[in-house]
Homo-oligomer: A and B are copies of this chain.
Amino acid sequence: MKLSKTMFSLVISTTLSVTAMADEPIQPVQAASGINTAQAELGKKLFFDPRLSRSGFISCNSCHNLSMGGTDNLTTSIGHKWNQGPINSPTVLNSSLNIAQFWDGRARDLKEQAGGPIANPGEMASNHEIAVKVLQSIPGYRKDFEAAFGTEHIDIDKITQAIAEFEKTLKTPDSRFDQWLKGDKNALNETELAGYQLFKETGCTACHYGEAVGGSSFQKMGLVQPYKTENKALGIYALTKNEADRYKFKVPTLRNVELTYPYFHDGGAQTLSEAVSTMAKIQLGKDMPQDQVNKIVAFLKTLTGEQPQFTLPILPPSVDNTPRPEPFK
């Protein structure tokens, strides 16, 4: 008798929770699946390897620092010879959920993205030929490529494939908000829940929806009021030259947003409070009272999920004939 009561309430609670989730514009982050482990392990090393840059100093992790929410927490990034980057580094966390990569979506997927910074003169300032030559010279990497791809022959396609495969592992499930979504009503407090209600009622979920709470669409920055910035990025317009695409950027994910400051494509908002207030104004035409802003900020902080947990990779050493970095040339 006791057993069937428990079973009954389990059925009820599962049904309720599924119903609740089906009604919500945000879905829980799913753990990464279908990963090629050998490729991801190789990709992890490559992600941390500054030898992919001309200087030997900058790795993927320099600007997408996995100790810091997959970002550099800088307004815009530092590149080769301290070049000031044109745009804020988006987080690599949950980036496999993005509709496309880069703020203007110019890379179709993570693999295509990974080749960009390596060869960008203002970022890692190497090129694909040198990157291949460096890795091909290193016995430890030849072994890893053999394990991951069945051949010691290294090319940029395999390099970017491995990095992308590692990046696919960088999902952050089990945030407090996701626990709530899955039915744990105590996972959020009243303020946070009120913040979520406001988030929906105000219209934030028009763009920030889905598993990544964003990342699924492009939207004009300054939809209702123009956004004031000295940043020169033009959004998709730079690719299409279509006037309607001016200042249209990929909607960023809000997962782990507590960790990914500063905000916007220009890194112009230092705090979440500032970001929420500005968004309400320029995207939705609302002067949001500070107490409402605070509630939404409280909600947003519940989107911090489990950060990637892995052992710092040890990189295979260069050998005598490995091309050396040129940091000061």
Contact = CB atoms under 8 A, between A and B. Distances in A.
A327 interface: yes
B62 A57 contact: yes
A309 B311 contact: yes
Interface string A297-320: 000000000011111111101101
Interface stretch (A71-79, A146-154, A194-202, A276-284): A71-79
A67 B314 contact: yes
A19 to B, nearest CB: 34
A328 B81 contact: no
A145 interface: no
Interface bin, chain A: 35 or more
Nearest to A317: B259
Contacts of A74: 55-57, 325, 327
Given A57-B74, A320-B271, A311 B311 contact: yes
A189 interface: no
Given A81-B82, A310-B312, A328-B84, A318 B261 contact: yes
Nearest to A312: B312
Contacts of A313: 67
A57 B84 contact: no
A161 to B, nearest CB: 21
A112 interface: no
A224 B231 CA distance: 59
